[in-house]
Amino acid sequence: MPAPKQNADRDARIVAAARLGQTFDSLAAEYHVTRQRVSQIVKAANPRSPEETQRQLIADRLRGRWEVLEAIVRDPPEMHSAIGKVVIGSDGKPVMNASAVVQAVKTQLQIEQQYRAMFGLDLATRPGPALDERERVMEAEIRAVQQYRATLAALPPRPPLPAAYAAMTPAEQARADLEGRRVQMQAQQVAIDTARQDDVVDAELVD
């Protein structure tokens, strides 16, 4: 059985992390206790000090800003032309604002770094497997470029997933998905290049 001091240290870490926004479920998994036990520890904790209250306010502001950016990533704004009209792709759907999505992801990464440096914790609101920063920006850029190129050529089907996909870890699956999107984008570029060559030939014939 853990010593009382060890339990006290653990409980203090749980309380600090919970007050900074880490979910009870993730804390239960991290410290190998039940979610109910995490709830009990947090409820039994002493009231916040003024310093802790200030840290909480800062953490809430950072998380709130992160969530505003996450809304842009999840539901990208539409791209508008110079005269204010929504740009429509070759698939008949509005094209998302590529630069807004990429910038949102980059700013999220900056907020996450600041949060980690200030509190020693990761933002717990980001879903899915953790990709490194370069991969997250690359993922956003690929999505953005694909949407923009939809104005020039329809997006081809994504290649089949690896045979061992189901046995991969979530992070490995995310990277396999990223590679599939990269291959898909390359095929789309081939279609765009072919269409441009056809346009040049047609123009030469007209001349």
Averaged over 99-103, what is the pLDDT? 83
User: Is residue 5 scored above 70 in pLDDT?
Assistant: no
Same domain, 134 and 191: yes
pLDDT band at 173 (very low <50, low <70, confident <90, very high): confident
pLDDT band at 155 (very low <50, low <70, confident <90, very high): low
Of the candidate ranges 6-20, 97-111, 122-136, the one whose mean pLDDT is the lowest: 122-136
| Whole-number pLDDT of residue 146 | 61
Same domain, 80 and 6: no
Domain of residue 39, residue span: 1-46
Q: Which residues contact 129 (CB under 8 A, 6 or more apart)?
A: 169, 170, 171, 173, 174
Same domain, 27 and 119: no
Q: Could you give the angle at the alpha carbon of 123 between the alpha carbons of 96 and 17, nearest 5°? A: 160
Identity of the amino acid at 203: A
Percent of the chain clearing pLDDT 90 (strictly above) = 1
User: Is residue 70 scored above 80 in pLDDT?
Assistant: yes
Helices 4-19 and 50-74: crossing angle in degrees, nearest 10, is: 50
pLDDT band at 45 (very low <50, low <70, confident <90, very high): confident
| Whole-number pLDDT of residue 152 | 64
Same domain, 132 and 197: yes
| Whole-number pLDDT of residue 145 | 65
Same domain, 57 and 22: no
CA distances from 191 to 43, 104, 142, 156, 207 (A): 60, 29, 17, 9, 24
Per residue, the 3-state secondary structure of the chain, as one string, reads CCCHHHHHHHHHHHHHHHHCCCCHHHHHHHHCCCHHHHHHHHHHCCCCCHHHHHHHHHHHHHHHHHHHHHHHHHCCCECECCCCCECECCCCCECECHHHHHHHHHHHHHHHHHHHHHHCCCCCCCCCCCCCHHHHHHHHHHHHHHHHHCCCCCCCCCCCCCCCHHHCCHHHHHHHHHHHHHHHHHHHHHHHHHHHHHHHHHHHHHC
Same domain, 69 and 152: yes
Averaged over 174-191, what is the pLDDT? 77
Same domain, 53 and 10: no
User: Is residue 15 scored above 60 in pLDDT?
Assistant: yes
| Whole-number pLDDT of residue 84 | 83
Averaged over 51-74, what is the pLDDT? 84
**Residue of higher predicted confidence among 119 and 68:** 68
Q: What is the pLDDT of residues 106-145, one digit of tens each?
A: 888 888 888 888 877 776 545 445 556 677 777 677 666 6
